[in-house]
Amino acid sequence: MVNKTTKARKRPLSSTAKAITRAQPSVSSKVTQGTISTYHTLIKRRAQLERRLASAEAAELDAIQRALDSKASQLGQSSARGGDSSKVLVEWLHGAGYGRGSEASIGKGKGKAGDMEQSCDRLRMLEIGAVSPSNYANCSTWIENHPIDVHSQHPHIFEQDFFERPIPTLEAEQFDVISCSLVLNFVDDPQERGRMLSLIHRHLKHSNGSLLFLVLPLACVTNSRYLTVSSLRDLMNAVGFDLVNERCRERGKEADH
């Protein structure tokens, strides 16, 4: 008897892999397309939810900003912070000859303010960041005030972002006086502050008598690494303004006219 030993024939790995591959069931193009569609639907749904969340957060932040702006403006006009700055503006306008006596006195003031040709008309004024619509109520015979605020707290104050206000194309749309009291310091970006001053200049009448009444917290120019009273004057001159009046109060505000 002859005994024989035989070796098992080895199958190449590639052959086994092919066999396994062929053993897997194929996925139809219909199922593949359905999976891709479901994936895109879920992605869109996720984006919608993220937008809704962002919108809700933005609305909440906007409400907080409204409350802070309102509170800050009210505190700014409190007696502890120097009181209502409109009284200073009226005082300075009186000193320039406006509002004394009858309306006929308008336009007969002395100095640069007297250059306004307003023989019988009221001074047209834009009040940016108005808190109360009655600040100039007692001057309604000689001041035509247009109060605006980005977050109006009163129905008689027009809600408007000054940066989005259209540039006047006619002189009748421009202003003799613009009041910007405790507004510029709330603009976060330095370039935007400069743009705001430039826009204010473009909203004023081209006559030499048009006026900007600017009020800032005194600390903005006395406790700043980048701004001083002198550099503020230079900045205003560069924009196109000449200083007429100035008043500083400790623990209060600085007003330029």
> Does any domain span residue 29?
no
Residues 194 and 68 in one domain: no
One domain, residues 58 and 72: yes
Domain-ending residue, one of 76, 93, 124: 76
Report yes or no on 18 lying in a domain.
no
Q: Evaluate whether residue 33 is within a structural domain.
A: no
**Domain end point (choices 31, 57, 76):** 76
Question: pLDDT tens for residues 160-206?
Answer: 999 999 999 999 999 999 999 999 988 888 899 999 999 999 999 98
Query: Residue 61 has what DSSP assignment?
Result: H
Residue 253: CB partners within 8 Å, gap ≥ 6? 76, 81, 82, 85, 182, 215, 216, 217, 218
Q: Which domain holds residue 52?
A: 40-76
pTM: 0.67
Q: What is the tally of structural domains in the chain?
A: 2
* pLDDT recorded at residue 47: 79
Is there a domain that residue 209 lies in? yes
* Mean pLDDT per 10-residue section of the chain, whose length is 257 residues: 56 51 58 70 79 75 65 56 78 91 42 46 94 93 96 92 96 97 89 96 91 93 88 95 89 63
CA distance 76 to 34: 62
Please report which helix (H) or strand (E) contains residue 141, including its range.
none
Residue 121 included in any domain: yes
Question: What CATH number did the domain enclosing 136 receive?
Answer: 3.40.50.150
* Same domain? 61 vs 88: no
Domain boundary among 27, 55, 76: 76
Tell me: do 69 and 102 sit in the same domain. no
